[in-house]
Amino acid sequence: MISRILFDEVITGPQTTIKRILVGLGGTPFTPTSIRRAIELAQSHQAEVTGVTLLDESNFIDDAAESPIQVLEDQERLAKAKVLIEESVAAFHAACDKWGLYQRPIVKKIEATFETLVESACHHDLVVFGLKSVLEYDFLCTDPQRFLVRLVATGVAPLFAVTDKYRAITRALIAYSGSIQSANAMKRFVQMRLWPDAHLKIVMCGKSKDTGERLLSDAAAYCRGHGYSVECQFSLDSPRKFLLKEARQSRADLIVMGNSARGVMMRRVFGDIALEVLRNGNLPVLLSQ
């Protein structure tokens, strides 16, 4: 199910590349924050916001189930998931109505697949939804790690993973490796200007302090050139141990991450770092190709 909301032309704001935002309406505890984030960003960027619901009913049906009780439980879980999703759709419409937005007709998708989401994301500048919900809820996929790997690997749009609690974004922690991929993620975040007044802290882990500090200096100069206040930190610790600890100590409100320095991008990023952040962190995460 897809519904699109167009902000009234009288709303003013900065002209940026963010003009179409896709928000997932999954009926999970993360959905209210997703809706609020999407509308907030759409308002400040004069953007369209599209709500998308994805429900793979096959994940609720166990073909091997022989017990009538198990079949009934599966049917009840599916019915509950549908109710929660419909409630999230209603909340999305109510939030848009609150801001005086024009609502376009709803388009229904018969079957939710990975390709459905990618197809929708291809025509948007940013995807907002609770990525942690993919790890904890079975409404969309049976293999969440593989799903996340494929989704980020498509690179069709940055993914903004929200938590279940809203927080203002005033300090962003950028995980930087010096690779072209991580530089692109940093540049995309800066150029999108989602939170132009946020203070940035760029952190880097590695074995060569001299090289790391030189790369950090160049990265900071780039961000300052775009009007951001920036500080940097280099660490000899592994990214997996360092990132969440530093995010807490620096009171970050957001973590920005890109691909790894090596070609096996998703194995390292999701296997060791991003999944660690998504599962054990309590901060929003912006993931970019």
Nearest residue to 162 (alpha-carbon basis) of 286, 1, 18, 70: 286
> Out of 3.40.50.620, 3.30.2080.10, 3.90.1150.10, 3.20.20.70, which CATH number does the structure's domain 2-161 have?
3.40.50.620
Per-residue pLDDT of the chain (289 residues), as tens digits, is 555 555 444 333 344 478 889 888 888 899 999 999 999 998 888 888 888 887 777 666 666 666 777 778 778 888 888 888 889 889 998 888 887 665 544 444 435 566 777 787 888 899 998 876 665 555 555 566 666 666 666 767 788 989 989 999 999 999 998 888 889 889 999 999 999 999 999 999 877 889 999 999 999 999 999 999 999 999 988 887 788 899 999 999 999 987 553 444 444 444 456 666 666 668 899 988 7
Whether 171-287 and 2-161 are alike in CATH topology: the answer is yes
What Å distances lie between residue 284 and 34, 205, 215, CA to CA? 10, 21, 25
In CATH terms, the superfamily for domain 171-287 is: HUPs (3.40.50.620)
Enumerate residues 6+ apart whose C-beta is below 8 A from 168: 253
Domain ranges of the chain: 2-161, 171-287
- The CB-based long-range contact list for 89-94 (8 Å cut-off, 24+ gap) reads 89/1, 89/3, 89/25, 89/51, 89/53, 91/31, 91/32, 91/35, 92/3, 92/23, 92/25, 92/35, 92/51, 93/3
Per-residue pLDDT reduced to its tens digit, 147-169: 666 666 676 778 898 998 999 99
